[in-house]
Chains A and B, each alone.
Chain A
């Protein structure tokens, strides 16, 4: 599918296969050669000569195998559909793009208005020695394309600041704009533009040993949060009728020792709990210890793995997983009151909420997965089927509510596919909604007490560096250069930076706080250096965030991140 789309982008006019990079202004279209023909002799892009789709797909799947195992076909095709823009092609921008181009992003436009200087040859791997004196945008763009020819490359040879000023509509075409090495003032303007055109803004900055990454967008919804510690939603504490019926089929006190040690622990837990309640007037065990004692009393041999597993999982009965505060916040969100303009996501959330208030009895839909349990194959499969059937039934109930809601708001009742609803239900427990304040607001308003506490903490200098990053931008605004860039002015800059930092502190409401002298000194020592390795870390973090935002999988940053290469730590701030 993806390749077929690309094949249609065949072009009239000048075809520069070697440079692979094209200016976007004017009438030229862009040529893309498939990487599948890389090993074949270089040839002009002709539809007839292209490898058949099946083979191309197989090659693509092989190439991206190690990442398809993380974000799957859905994630990969989201990346391949994305059109992103990267501002400034220094090492931070280049490294961010490198990571995304390798992963097979659909297309990118790099915007940079500078000439290549000697310092570019000391900190940027995407610039060749022979490019010295040429333009940076085209040089970086061409080497990126050479790295992965499945990606559609473009460049604009103009400074980002001037595009932001003169041509805001330029940003309309992008799903994600990555702004690197931009000052606070340019970012605040760009942020307004991106919000207007519904593009996500990702900010990345390297400054000496310090890095900064942050996200700005009105709202970002995550269905597939894929948390590391996935909660096993097994409902041992309140089995539904079909599950109770299945448990009745087992005689856990069987005389047969082989059968006794091959009954899945889920069955054991539910049955033992049921027996306990029968003996205790319907009461639950008062402690985990009581329940464990009851389990141990039914265990016959030391090596009964199913009983050992039951003991390990007993906590799921006494303290079943609770719903996370982030999830509950989604249910209480203002957008749950839907109307004709609501997004599919919020319609599904509204249906989910109704489901939980009614047939769900307070629980979100079951996801249907069952961990491995020591057991006969047949016993386990039967248990698994009961869980899957319940998940199906829950999803069907949510689906019915979605269809009704769509009808109510005057939309096509089949406007959201069954697959989407099932996918939503399977991940319902981990839904997340992220909202970010606008950059202008963030910089002008008072910071929260959490930030003030962090600033005062002796073991964490990262909040102080956040303040210093704001201070160097202010100073550069008035001084026309960053502090510490000229050796002879070092002492003077040091005093100025200290004063600027104090101004920032009082502006954001941290009266009485101060920035340690050695941090001010380090910041001045950095002299706005863009070190390759710091850029590589920042570019790596920015690329991870970009992937999370574009695929809608995993959980992105919740606030601005400060990376500190002195300590090799990062802190996500709550400002």
Chain B
């Protein structure tokens, strides 16, 4: 029995469009049990009702970063959780080896942009959802782009990309003068990751829960081999492969850039590695291992992605509607020995350079702004993070490196006493730099100021 919604609703103007978006009576029956009824274990401010369902359908914009194993699942999960406005960003094209888990893609799609195909397939299957694809790198987007979403969900496979987006999103965060985060500037992120039968999901509420940078230690360090082992005392097949990949290629094929997706290149590495292994009496160099070592391939299966992505989507629903309590911020899953699925609450780093109210920097009381800038440039905590910093105080520019007009206008401040510029007290300075992905907050502490009066005045 098909029942149309009120004709007076603004989106119901075009009959054709309406046929696409109109909802059948009872379509969301299962979700409605959670969204339309009061609950017993819910988040703060949960207000059940049709408005809540309409809110996630019409007003809540969710960005999914990555349209791979997790991304495909996330798009499906969010669409079938009632989210009506989703965008997805991915720079990759579809490869044959994606097909064992990235279920929105088929053999005929190989070579096509993942974001585009994924968006099309989800819209085809789940009527009423709008999925906008972005076939590009996340770095290509203006930070302003990310501001336009209520929640950002990450389905990424690299630490670098996670770090980047974390810095951008934490950069939106502003703190009140008492050091508490300005709630209107918080943009929640939900992050997932998998490897084989294992995975994690976590919720990052910048300013309130640990950000990606705070808990960097959770990720194991990458395995690297010492160069002398590769060159002089190889003992494993991987040593032989890495030698050819990192050293011999440059010697034997100077001027040629190695491309891991070029079959001829990969075959050459394999053959040379096999030869080297034979010389050293080492067994076990295979083509598959060569690919695995050179491309640092992480094994991946459909089921683990399904578990992690759905966990992320459920937390996204909770953040958007408060229909249930949020999980403790970090969930770990291991399926190799029975099933282990637990959460824990890890600690925020109070001095985190990305999300804290300010990294404490102690300075002499009579320091000038110029001397302050030199101090932070020399500070090892900011090494390689800043090169030409601009400094501002609660929206007021103290010194700007660019554009030239502003630079000239603020240049006189460089020789002024920092303490005077900061109205006689320590406090938070915002540092911006081309090298930074977001804003760096520095908490200035003048040395003679009583510790109790320090901080944010």
* Interface, chain A (partner B; CB < 8 A): 35, 38-39, 59, 62-70, 95, 98-99, 102-104, 117-119, 121-125, 128-129, 132, 147-148, 208-209, 213, 225-228, 262, 372-378, 380-381, 484, 487, 490, 517-519, 521-522, 525-527, 529-534, 536-537, 539-541, 543-545, 547-548, 554-558, 561, 563, 565-570, 572
Contact = CB atoms under 8 A, between A and B. Distances in A.
A381 B34 CA distance: 62
Interface size on B, as a range, is 35 or more
B218 interface: no
B5 interface: no
A69 B314 contact: no
Interface string B284-317: 0000100110000111111111110111011101
B417 interface: no
A64 B304 CA distance: 15
A400 B233 CA distance: 39
Residue of B31, B106, B303, B306 contacting most chain A CB atoms (<10 Å)? B303
Contacts of A525: 33-34, 37-40
B201 A568 contact: yes
B26 A119 contact: yes
A386 to B, nearest CB: 14
Nearest to A520: B40
A337 B323 CA distance: 57
Given A530-B30, A569-B342, A99 B99 contact: no
B78 to A, nearest CB: 9
B139 to A, nearest CB: 26
23 contacts: A63-B100, A67-B299, A67-B300, A119-B29, A125-B125, A128-B125, A208-B33, A227-B337, A381-B282, A487-B37, A525-B38, A531-B31, A531-B81, A532-B77, A536-B313, A537-B306, A544-B197, A554-B335, A555-B338, A561-B338, A565-B311, A568-B328, A569-B341
A122 B335 contact: no
B80 A123 contact: yes
A536 B96 contact: no
Contacts of B34: 208-209, 525-526, 529, 531
Given A125-B80, A532-B30, 20 more contacts: A35-B107, A39-B110, A59-B96, A103-B301, A118-B24, A119-B30, A124-B80, A128-B125, A521-B39, A522-B39, A526-B33, A529-B29, A536-B73, A536-B310, A540-B307, A543-B303, A543-B306, A566-B327, A569-B342, A570-B339
Contact of A557 (B39, B76, B299, B338): B338
3 nearest CB pairs, A to B? A521-B40, A540-B306, A38-B107
Interface in B1-50: 24-31, 33-34, 37-41
A566 B108 CA distance: 40
B100 A568 contact: no
Contacts of B24: 118, 121, 132
Given A66-B100, A123-B30, A566-B324, A129 B127 contact: yes
B236 interface: yes
Contact of A565 (B106, B107, B301, B314): B314
B303 A533 contact: no
A35 B229 CA distance: 44
Contacts of A128: 125
Contact of A122 (B30, B197, B327, B334): B30
Contact of B30 (A104, A517, A529): A529
A256 to B, nearest CB: 15
Contacts of B27: 118-119, 121-122
A524 to B, nearest CB: 9
B308 to A, nearest CB: 8
B306 A517 contact: no
B33 A484 contact: yes
B26 A568 contact: no
A62 to B, nearest CB: 5
B410 to A, nearest CB: 48
Given A147-B103, A209-B324, A522-B40, A568 B311 contact: yes
Contacts of B233: 262, 374-377, 380
A147 B324 CA distance: 34
B377 interface: no
Given A122-B27, A527-B33, A566-B325, A533 B77 contact: yes
Contact of B101 (A38, A102, A374): A102
B338 A536 contact: no
B143 to A, nearest CB: 30
B311 A537 contact: yes
Contacts of B334: 228
Given A63-B99, A123-B30, A377 B310 contact: no
Contacts of B328: 567-568
Interface string B48-89: 000000000000000000000000010011001110000000
Contacts of A557: 338-339
B235 interface: yes
Contacts of B301: 66-67, 70, 99, 103, 544, 547
B212 to A, nearest CB: 19
A450 to B, nearest CB: 15
A46 to B, nearest CB: 19
B327 A103 contact: no
B33 A522 contact: no
A537 B310 contact: yes
B281 interface: yes
Nearest to A384: B235
Given A39-B107, A66-B299, A534-B310, A377 B338 contact: no
A228 B33 contact: no
B234 A377 contact: yes
Nearest to A120: B27
Contacts of A555: 336-338
B311 A99 contact: no
Nearest to B329: A568
A537 B312 CA distance: 10
Nearest to A518: B40
B281 A125 contact: no
A544 B40 contact: no
Interface in B188-239: 196-197, 201, 229, 233-236
B5 to A, nearest CB: 13
A540 B335 CA distance: 10
A540 B33 contact: no
Interface in B327-351: 327-328, 331, 334-343
B376 interface: no
A385 to B, nearest CB: 9
Contacts of B76: 125, 532
Contacts of B327: 566-569
A544 B337 contact: no
Nearest to A370: B235
B268 interface: no
A558 B339 CA distance: 9
A568 B30 contact: no
B126 interface: yes
B129 to A, nearest CB: 11
Interface string B415-447: 000000000000000000000000000000000
A375 B314 contact: no
Contact of A102 (B282, B302, B337): B302
A319 B317 CA distance: 49
